[in-house]
Structure 1
Amino acid sequence: MSSVDVNIRLAGRADVAAVNRALRQLSADMGDEHRATNADIERFCFGPSPILHALLAVTKDGDVVGVAAYSPFFSTVFGTVGIYVSDLWVAGSARGKRLGVRLLAAVRDAGVKTWDADFLRLNVYHNNPRALAFYERIGFVPTTETQYMTLAGTALDTLGEQS
């Protein structure tokens, strides 16, 4: 399969299961627990207030060999909209064919068209040097002045209750 044999397109409501299968494979490849259900993808991509968008890379035979999941956000530092790429996965059989770059370019194009976005942002696991090298090779720059932080579970539930 060459990169021209793959069509990248916006996922539609009929693609919910395919999007979630691809994201589940990414989770498996990364050793992460995958909690998203098809109902979650349906709700957050195609519900009344969509906050997740997805692109699928599909072969002529209909096999999904890539996915990019992303959301817009506004940055006061940049004074513009950015696109947060939460998930990017390329099947092993399609790696090395610039499909990851094509998916990111399609995210950029969709973000510019829909939100007039000016930049992409993503996170990379520290223990994934291949991914880090890939992103740096195409021009992503590590941000050292900020630290990714998460508030979840009980800490989120009890926010504001601490004395």
Structure 2
Amino acid sequence: MTTTASPRAPLALAGFVAAVAVVAVAGALSSMNARSVYESLELPGWAPPPWLFGPVWTVLYAMIAVSGWLYWRAGGDRRGLGVYGVGLVLNLAWTPLFFAAGAYELALVDIVLLDVAVVASIILFWRRSRLAAWLQVPYLVWILYASALTVSIVILN
């Protein structure tokens, strides 16, 4: 396992944080009415309260950014970074599909693809940085939960 300890490392970290921040901000902007949409849906009894999403995503986004940076720093290759990038794009797409467009079935397809992308990232990251891979695990757990919730919403609504 090689580590890229270059003077560019802080700049690279800022790049990963910026990329993830774009996803977070775009999600926030496309979900301005998320609370009312969420509360108007028929939800399963195990659905989380609306207030939980913000704090969970804040922590997860920080972990996602650090994970990508650690992978890069450990000499991660383009394939792993590409899969990571695809995951960010899929993450970016889910919120507007679900909350802005009300396209619950498309949001379900998107999140299933996101699940696959995050699993692939974990596998690829593991080869270079186990910590980078482990930092993706809470994200995977949350989006698997969100996938199940999305399935339930599609069925119930």
- Please, what TM-score do these two structures have when normalized by structure 2? 0.36
Q: Which has the higher strand share?
A: 1
Q: Which has the higher helix share?
A: 2
The one of the two structures with greater contact order (alpha-carbon pairs below 8 A, sep at least 6) is 2
